[in-house]
Amino acid sequence: MARVLAVANQKGGVAKTTTVHALGAALSERGRRVLLVDLDPQACLTYSMGIDPNGLEQSIHDVFLRRVKAADAVHHAHSVDIIPATIDLAGSEVHLLTLTAREHVLERALGSVRDGYDFVIIDCPPSLGVLTINGLTAAEEVLVPLQCEALSHRGVGQLIETIDDVRTFANPNLQVRGVIATMYDDRTRHSRRILDEVGARYGIPVLDPPVRKSIRFAEAPERGMSILEHAPRSPGAEAYRRLAQVIDEDGNGGLPPSPQPPRWPAW
């Protein structure tokens, strides 16, 4: 059964979606079967993978409304699968708030597809609302992308408080796997100090290596590609490959690559 990772930070602009996309591609390169879930109504992950959100007939919104099962909403894009998002997902938040056990809806929906993957990676929206709570409740581990500047530092503390609440009320086994430093500039003392302080203050690991700034990250989404496809030999692509190796090996005990699954049709 798949390991389920949530990538979360309520502060926008910290390369959260980039991290989900790149880690998914890097894990796929390692022979893992990967499903990405776009929980952001802005549908940036969906768009970044070359899928037009405005042309979709089925998305995670339809799964939340029980119009379709999760498997029916899966699309294939490049080397991974995705349950995409559309702007309609904003309406899902209102719907979820009317439900009993609202925080478990995504967890239950993914139960029918988890056996087909090694990893499920959830791209949470930049907020601490009911969609993010669903992502955290469905996950076993949380990855926190962190831009090394003061406001992001403050946001980590707020996210840790939310994770503690989720552990108390919905998902006692949820673990923080670590912080991923994004858009990192090791030439500045400020970046290095913020990164050191986050690990020390909150007692959570900082995963190595940091991902340095690069224009390649801005170029990739408009081509519908991850950084690994757009600039496969770039420092950013190599950083995400190393991070994927760390995440893969620490949870899977060095298992051999899984057989490739039958692919969902490309849309």
SS3 155: helix
Enter the tokens of residue 37: 């879930």
The pLDDT, as a whole number, for residue 124 is 97
The pLDDT, as a whole number, for residue 140 is 97
Q: Within a 10 A sphere around the Cβ of 199, how many other Cβ atoms? A: 13
The pLDDT, as a whole number, for residue 226 is 94
CA-nearest of 84, 117, 120 to 261 is: 117
All structural domains of the chain with their residue ranges: 3-244
Compute CA 265 distance to the chain's CA centroid, rounded to the nearest angstrom: 22
The pLDDT, as a whole number, for residue 264 is 37
Q: What is the DSSP letter of 55?
A: G
Predicted confidence (pLDDT) at residue 104 exceeds the cutoff of 90: yes
DSSP 183-231: SB-TTSHHHHHHHHHHHHHH---EESS--B--HHHHHTGGGT--HHHHS
Q: What is the average pLDDT value for the chain, to the nearest integer?
A: 89
Q: Are 124 and 41 in contact (CB under 8 A)?
A: no
The amino acid occupying position 103 is E
* CATH 3.40.50.970 is right for the domain spanning 3-244: no
Q: Where are the beta strands (DSSP E) in the chain?
A: 3-7, 34-38, 75-77, 80-83, 119-123, 141-147, 175-182, 206-207
Residue scoring higher pLDDT (11 or 258) = 11
The pLDDT, as a whole number, for residue 37 is 98
Enter the tokens of residue 234: 């770039």
